[in-house]
Structure 1
Amino acid sequence: MRAKDHTGLIGEEKAADFLQEAGHRILDRRWRCKTGELDLVTLHDGELVAVEVKTRRGLGYGHPLEAVTAQKLQRLQRLITEYASAHNMWALPRRVDAVSVLLGSPQHSGDEEVLELDYLKDLRG
């Protein structure tokens, strides 16, 4: 597995832990359909939530949330609608959230240090 992919999986795990502590129920991780993928799908306060997770080990490419563009938000909104359709959850209101995870240097112990975790709720493009 490429280091970038491994970093992304660690970030998704840290984001899922954070969201569960904040009251989200994780429904799916890395849900895929023919038009794309959702990092996390949760249920929170009666809403179906697509959560985009962006993870970095530094700010050399900018803050992780800078990668969540208006175009990406539109795609995520389409994907959460597809998820609702595929899982017969049409009646639930839907939203898109984002979590950015900034990790320290890779740890050989397996316990990754989270330097910063930011959470944005109900993003609109």
Structure 2
Amino acid sequence: MIKSLFQKLFSSTKKPNKTNQHVPYESKLEKGQVESVFAPELENQKNLVLTKWNIKLGDVVKPGDIICDLSNDMILMEFESMFNGKIISMCPLNTKLNKGTELFKVEGINQL
């Protein structure tokens, strides 16, 4: 059921990353390219709040890293990164999330 929900939320024509099968898809960023990541659209999104950051500004993340926790009185969801890159902005903790709320921005870095 969870896998089905993620496939609907993050459907893409890109193939899954073979080294990390639980990531819905991986999107590569070129060095300096910035990508905004938004709150997912959920059916039970009422009163959805960003409750915990597992990263800090400047951290380097990769696909599959748990970035933050989102919750309301019905759900608790761990939000995973889809990108390799450096976190350059984050929305404040305890932000009430609506469709389209920007959670964070990630900037592409040199890949080793």
Note whether the superposition's TM-score is higher than 0.5.
Answer: no
Structure with greater strand percent: 1
TM-score (norm 1): 0.33
TM-score (norm 2): 0.35
Structure with greater helix percent: 1
The higher relative CO (CA closer than 8 Å, separation ≥ 6) is in 2
